[in-house]
Chain A
């Protein structure tokens, strides 16, 4: 874990992780004592395809600056095909967010297996950096939920 003492902008990242692969991957990166930012809040879902577009929007509403969705690699979904549906849905959703002028780099899909603790940590580090560069989410925020 990192402790950030300086006052630079710290993005809040919401990571939806499927129970069978990515959540286990996150666990593994923990047991391996790999570093990833404390700004990443993990929400465990049974399968990546449990995440409906509303979840992504709600995460932004409640203050997320970036939302990442992690699931099993294509072909490895515990429910056989869930992540294939996720892939189409999220592609279309992200494209729509981009069409509405919402920064596309605030969203991402990444496939992380239960064995890829290192990939999980690296992905989170990299995504957090990318979102940090974009600054706070202003285009898809709910003013009533802004803390301060």
Chain B
């Protein structure tokens, strides 16, 4: 895949379709692949990487990149195309300045899951059927691919690209991956159990804001959490109220716009399952206002920008079973 992507990038640069490419390059370790801009074939040859650790969704970078001179080339996985569509719909990107090449994805790996098996000093990985071959500075190790798969890929919602100018490989289908399973489990707990669960999770938050910064739906020029008068600007929460507030408001602001790309949970250094909050909103929206997938198109009205006269009353929440 890496060769195909690199040659496509060089070709589009050479024939002038685009004047830069947004891709990825290696970070300090083999598994911390970071987004990067490339402007020439030489730069691509030197640094461009695309492998099983390349999970970063580059669509958010297009907010800034698409406003610059000339076209930019972006390689998008199926889930990333939903983010781009949503940004296009919200007029946050200039779609005409972006050349999208859709690339297939068979799931990305989570280095933390590999390290949790006691495997360290990772220098590279290779999928061999269901087995993952891991080379480390201490020699070769193996483990099942499924156990190293990142959570966001385990609950993949679609292998279909919803926007692209060109595809590498075959397009896939929307799939059903039981992504609401964990939300349901929580819903079936008692209120006290849910409270304890979230206290335990949210109290780990260090307010690094990574979840907000990475989120393709969070593109406000002035974020409420950067307001110096709010008392919550970039600081560790002083108590449980602030933790709850940050998480409720962050999730609420993207309700109906969150494409469930999973980036927020992926980048959280504290491994807080943030996407469960977003998924709760998605699940509620689906069940109360009709199935809706943000980013699936560029014309539909977002559920919170819409209403019908016979929507349910808020009391529906109070009438639910299980307390």
Contact = CB atoms under 8 A, between A and B. Distances in A.
Interface of A: 53-54, 57, 60-61, 74-75, 81, 84-85, 87-105, 107-109, 139-144
A46 B100 CA distance: 45
Contacts of A81: 307
B307 A85 contact: yes
Given A99-B186, A105-B318, A53 B249 contact: yes
Nearest to A105: B318
B313 A61 contact: no
A99 B194 contact: yes
25 contacts: A53-B249, A53-B252, A57-B248, A60-B241, A61-B245, A85-B304, A85-B305, A85-B307, A87-B307, A87-B314, A91-B311, A91-B316, A96-B248, A98-B317, A100-B194, A100-B248, A101-B193, A101-B195, A101-B198, A102-B244, A104-B191, A104-B320, A109-B313, A109-B315, A142-B242
Nearest to A56: B248
Given A84-B311, A100-B244, A92 B194 contact: no
Contact of A54 (B224, B313, B320): B224
Nearest to A86: B314
Contacts of A84: 307-309, 311
Interface of B: 186-187, 191-199, 224, 238-242, 244-245, 247-249, 251-252, 255, 277, 280-281, 284-285, 288-289, 303-309, 311-318, 320, 323
A142 B195 contact: no
Nearest to B190: A101
Which residue of B241, B244, B308, B314 has the most chain A CB atoms within 10 A of its CB atom?
A: B314
Contacts of A97: 248
A146 B20 CA distance: 55
A104 B195 CA distance: 12
A36 B198 CA distance: 36
Chain A, interface SS category: helix
Contacts of B306: 88
- A-B pairs, top 6 by smallest CB distance, nearest first, are A101-B195, A84-B307, A101-B194, A142-B241, A109-B314, A94-B317
A60 B191 CA distance: 18
Contacts of A107: 314
A88 B280 CA distance: 14
A142 B232 CA distance: 13
Nearest to B255: A92
Contact of A88 (B194, B311, B318): B311
Contacts of B307: 81, 84-85, 87-88
B252 A144 contact: no
Given A87-B313, A96-B252, A101 B289 contact: no
A107 B304 CA distance: 20
B278 to A, nearest CB: 10
Which residue of A88, A89, A105 has the most chain B CB atoms within 10 A of its CB atom?
A: A88
Contacts of B244: 57, 100, 102, 140
Contact of B280 (A53, A96, A109): A96
